[in-house]
């Protein structure tokens, strides 16, 4: 039905079909009741032939008289070209973890599927894939994964699943760009799976992923014994860069000669300012403490939104104090990828 009829009685050009009438159904007829059988006209056979043929030709397949699988091949090709049917933003599986053999340098990506960031393809990983942060990107599991440059100390790297344009094979790698700007040539579709961080020695910080929550196995001391008073100060946390992120933080502030105050950890986009009056800021305080021994301690664990630079603002509400000291520790973050 894909290859046009080539019998001796066939014609070179399709006959003009008659004007459309009322749509009906075939019948075998009933001679005893005077109902004739349906006569199959040339235009109907031509219509069926061309409808099927058009699917095959549009898929880039040349009609072959001896191949009865061409319609199926064309449908399969169309589905593949459509890139799957997952909704935009879909992600299942693909959990990240430190590699068991070389946790300081390698990342394992579990099997799963995700819709590409461009909403063009389903990126499906059938088995765990391991990529190395300490080697330039190369195809395949166990090989290098860094898209550009070399592994750096105290750096955020985003982890991407990528799809090869030529054959649809799936790989992965690391980039400091949140849009995978440095991914290999010939790979267009991608999906960000999460982020990893190196410490001051260049080792990947150990972490545990539970859904969208990424928890550092050893909390990161992002601010430690820093000066802090009423004026808000911008602080940088260890969270994914290039996006807003909800952070799981612990804060601690102490001051001598102080018996009334509170600690503030807020987003950089917050309109709260330094505490001209205690009552005006108090509703937005992360915590408030009162002490009677002239030594003030404020401690809390809270959730706060860090900006695309990984920054928040800290401040305190005080009457009078000296020897002020602030600590902010990042436990983890929620990464809605």
pLDDT in tens, 166-185: 999 999 999 999 999 999 99
Report, as an integer, the average pLDDT of 236-261. 83
Q: What integer pLDDT is reported at residue 274 of this predicted model?
A: 56
Report, as an integer, the average pLDDT of 33-37. 91
Q: Place 278 in a pLDDT band, splitting at 50, 70 and 90.
A: very low
Query: Averaging pLDDT over each range in 104-108, 312-316, 325-329, which range is the top one?
Result: 104-108
Q: What integer pLDDT is reported at residue 75 of this predicted model?
A: 86
pTM for the structure as a whole:
0.76
Which residue, among 163, 190, 166, has the nearest Cα to 175 in the 3D structure? 190
Q: List Cα–Cα distances, 4 to 49, 61, 75, 192, 298, in angstroms.
A: 7, 14, 19, 48, 83
Q: What integer pLDDT is reported at residue 131 of this predicted model?
A: 98
Q: What integer pLDDT is reported at residue 100 of this predicted model?
A: 94
Average pLDDT of the chain to the nearest whole number:
87
**Stronger pLDDT, 77 or 281, i.e. the higher one:** 77
Report, as an integer, the average pLDDT of 283-288. 48
Helix (H) or strand (E) holding 324, with range, is strand 322-334
| Percentage of residues of the chain with pLDDT beyond 90 | 64
Q: What integer pLDDT is reported at residue 276 of this predicted model?
A: 47
Judged against a pLDDT cut of 50, whether residue 336 lies above it is answered with yes
Judged against a pLDDT cut of 80, whether residue 117 lies above it is answered with yes
What does the domain layout of the chain look like in residue ranges?
40-78, 91-197, 212-334
Which residue, among 329, 314, 303, has the nearest Cα to 237 in the 3D structure? 329
Judged against a pLDDT cut of 90, whether residue 105 lies above it is answered with yes
For 96-118, letters b (16+ CB in 10 Å) and e give bbbbeeebbbbbbbeebbbbbbe
The owner of tokens 């009933």 is: 30
Which residue, among 251, 279, 244, 283, has the nearest Cα to 265 in the 3D structure? 251
- For domain 212-334, the question of CATH label 2.60.120 is answered with yes
Q: Other C-beta atoms within 10 Å of 320: how many?
A: 10
């Amino acid at each position: 039905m894909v290859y046009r009829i080539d019998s001796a009685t066939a014609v070179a050009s399709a006959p003009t079909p008659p004007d459309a009438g009322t749509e009906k159904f075939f019948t075998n007829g009933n001679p005893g009741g005077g109902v004739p059988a349906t006569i199959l006209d040339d235009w109907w056979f031509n219509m069926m032939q061309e409808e099927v043929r058009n699917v095959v030709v549009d898929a880039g397949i040349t009609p072959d008289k001896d191949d009865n699988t061409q319609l199926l091949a064309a449908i399969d090709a169309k589905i593949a070209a459509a890139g799957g049917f997952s909704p935009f933003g879909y992600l299942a599986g693909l959990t990240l973890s430190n590699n068991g053999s070389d946790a300081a340098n390698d990342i394992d990506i579990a099997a799963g599927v995700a819709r590409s960031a461009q909403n063009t393809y389903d990126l499906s990983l059938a088995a765990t894939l391991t990529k190395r942060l300490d080697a330039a990107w190369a195809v395949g599991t166990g090989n290098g994964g860094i898209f550009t440059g070399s592994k750096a100390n105290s750096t955020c790297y985003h982890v991407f699943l990528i799809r090869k344009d030529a054959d649809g094979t799936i790989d992965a790698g690391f980039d400091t760009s949140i849009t995978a700007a440095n991914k290999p040539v010939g790979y267009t579709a991608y999906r960000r799976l999460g982020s990893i961080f190196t410490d001051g020695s260049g080792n990947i910080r150990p972490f545990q992923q539970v859904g969208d929550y990424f928890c550092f196995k050893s909390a990161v001391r992002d601010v430690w014994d820093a000066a802090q008073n009423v004026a808000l100060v911008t602080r940088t946390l260890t969270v994914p860069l290039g996006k807003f992120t909800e952070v799981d933080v612990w804060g601690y502030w102490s001051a001598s000669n102080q018996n009334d105050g509170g600690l503030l950890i807020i987003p950089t986009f917050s309109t709260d300012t330094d505490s001209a009056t205690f009552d005006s800021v108090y509703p937005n305080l992360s915590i408030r403490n009162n002490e009677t021994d002239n030594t003030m301690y404020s401690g809390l664990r809270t959730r706060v939104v860090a900006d695309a630079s990984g920054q928040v603002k800290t401040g305190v509400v005080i009457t009078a104090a000296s020897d002020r000291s602030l600590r902010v520790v990042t436990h983890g973050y929620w990464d809605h990828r």
